A = this chain, B = another copy of it.
Amino acid sequence: METKKLLMIPGPTPVSRSIQDQMGRETVAFSDANFVNDFNYCLKELKKIVKSDGEIFVISGSGTLAMEMSLANVLRKGDNLLIISHGYFGDRFVDIAKNKGINVDVLSSEWGKTVPIDLIRETLKKKPYRAITVTHVDTSTGVKADIKSIGDMLKEFPEIIYIVDGVCATAGEEEYMDDMNIHILFTASQKAFGVAPGLLILWANEKALRARESIGTIGEYFVDFNNWLPIMHEPSKYFATPSVNLIWALKESIRLINEEGIENRFKRHELFARAYQKALEELGFRILAEEGYRANTLSNVLYPEGVEDELFRTSLATEGVQVAAGLGTFKGKMFRIGHMGNIDKHDLISSIASIERTLYKFNIDKLSIGLNIIQRELVK
């Protein structure tokens, strides 16, 4: 019998059976009273999860569309935007913004490192920036930005809209909009929420809405806050047919989050991340992200000598774990393993065990060394 292949990529993450069952239900009308209730529940609870009393948008689409939405609603052509990039998804903001004719400045770190806050502050002083984007966790590097400290620092710049890309973070890493002075936050369904891909979630607070007002008509129709606000206030209204089944799935995901407690969820992600990362290091791998800036949601893992990337990932899949390839210059030198969403101790244990057995095929006998780390972390 083939070993079940665990979906340990940085999204989509494993979808729990109870969430799957919601996706497989008979579809109803978007105006169905029960569905409207379910949608409202999602909207209300999603605000609580990030401690926001602003607006929320749940829309068919992907994280990339959310990135575009975050820019399109607050920046005009010619506005200045500072992008903090810790990898591929930071850079993607550059593309999106440039295509829109926004003036872009980028502060990029070396992959694995972060941009120092002081440098951000200095840069912001040089020009009147309208907004800044920070990718909370960049999937390409596994680097986690210190969004709280950046938020604190940004209090010195009350004109600037602080946009946080939470795609690989929200519901797995601590993110509290008001506490952290974030004005726009967004994520996608298939990451730490553990739903299939197809939904974007975006929160915008009052300052962001005022920015939207100030820029007048925008060309981006589908992601225009103004088109969606009436619907998000009253989901029985129509703007575009919502993805009924994915919203049910999201509701079940939120129920699971509430059952666990968001704080407990963050702690679990932290515990699991530490266990994974310690175990992987003990097995001879190197974590790309520098210590202190490692994500709790995924790890980007550099191979030891003598381990060939593609062969490793294929063998690992046979042993029962699917991971993702490295991106950019790290393609071939690294794999990326997700450890976010609705995964449990079994998934953690099974994935490290599979990695050990795969290493063994490369004549690296570290059997049970990683598992020992994991077990000791789990019993702490």
Q: Provide the residues of chain B in CB contact with A68, threshold 8 Å.
A: 220-222
- Would you call A127 an interface residue if the criterion is a C-beta within 8 Å of the partner chain's C-beta atoms? no
Cross-chain contact B349 with A375 (CB below 8 angstroms): no
Question: Which residue in B196, B245, B344 is a CB contact (below 8 Å) of A1?
Answer: B344
Residue of B nearest to A2 (CB): B344
Q: Provide the residues of chain B in CB contact with A15, threshold 8 Å.
A: 26-27
Cross-chain contact A60 with B60 (CB below 8 angstroms): yes
Question: Which residue in B27, B64, B353 is a CB contact (below 8 Å) of A222?
Answer: B64
Cross-chain contact A221 with B23 (CB below 8 angstroms): no
Interface residues of A in 329-380 (CB under 8 A from B): 342-346, 349-350, 353-354, 356-357, 360-361, 367-369, 371-372, 374-376, 378-379
Measured CB to CB, the closest approach of chain B to A180, in angstroms, equals 24
What is the bound-complex CA distance between A268 and B3, given in angstroms?
12
- Would you call A149 an interface residue if the criterion is a C-beta within 8 Å of the partner chain's C-beta atoms? no
Question: Which residue in B11, B28, B217, B371 is a CB contact (below 8 Å) of A371?
Answer: B371
Measured CB to CB, the closest approach of chain B to A255, in angstroms, equals 12
- Would you call A224 an interface residue if the criterion is a C-beta within 8 Å of the partner chain's C-beta atoms? yes
- Would you call A218 an interface residue if the criterion is a C-beta within 8 Å of the partner chain's C-beta atoms? yes
- Would you call A165 an interface residue if the criterion is a C-beta within 8 Å of the partner chain's C-beta atoms? no
Q: Provide the residues of chain B in CB contact with A7, threshold 8 Å.
A: 26-29
- Would you call A20 an interface residue if the criterion is a C-beta within 8 Å of the partner chain's C-beta atoms? yes
Q: Provide the residues of chain B in CB contact with A260, threshold 8 Å.
A: 1
Measured CB to CB, the closest approach of chain B to A98, in angstroms, equals 8
Q: Which of A27, A63, A68 has the most CB of B within 10 A?
A: A27
- Would you call A95 an interface residue if the criterion is a C-beta within 8 Å of the partner chain's C-beta atoms? yes
Q: Which of A37-45, A286-294, A316-324 contacts B (4 or more CB under 8 A)?
A: A316-324
Q: Which of A7, A9, A14, A379 has the most CB of B within 10 A?
A: A379
What is the bound-complex CA distance between A28 and B357, given in angstroms?
23
Q: Provide the residues of chain B in CB contact with A319, threshold 8 Å.
A: 345
Interface residues of A in 229-282 (CB under 8 A from B): 239-246, 256, 260, 265, 268
Interface residues of A in 38-89 (CB under 8 A from B): 60-65, 67-68, 77
Q: Provide the residues of chain B in CB contact with A374, threshold 8 Å.
A: 353
Measured CB to CB, the closest approach of chain B to A20, in angstroms, equals 5
Question: Which residue in B23, B32, B349 is a CB contact (below 8 Å) of A350?
Answer: B349
- Would you call A148 an interface residue if the criterion is a C-beta within 8 Å of the partner chain's C-beta atoms? no
Q: Provide the residues of chain B in CB contact with A324, threshold 8 Å.
A: 29, 31
Q: Provide the residues of chain B in CB contact with A197, threshold 8 Å.
A: 27, 30, 60, 241-244
Question: Which residue in B96, B221, B345 is a CB contact (below 8 Å) of A64?
Answer: B221
What is the bound-complex CA distance between A101 and B4, given in angstroms?
50
Q: Which of A96, A198, A217, A376 has the most CB of B within 10 A?
A: A198
Residue of B nearest to A356 (CB): B375
- Would you call A6 an interface residue if the criterion is a C-beta within 8 Å of the partner chain's C-beta atoms? yes
0/1 string, A303-322, CB within 8 A of B gives 1? 00000000000000001101
Please list 10 pairs of residues, one from A and one from B, whose beta carbons are closer than 8 Å in the complex, sorted by A's number.
Answer: A1-B342, A23-B24, A24-B25, A60-B65, A61-B222, A67-B221, A190-B241, A222-B223, A345-B354, A346-B346
Top 6 nearest A-B pairs by Cβ distance?
A: A24-B24, A198-B243, A368-B372, A62-B240, A346-B350, A367-B375
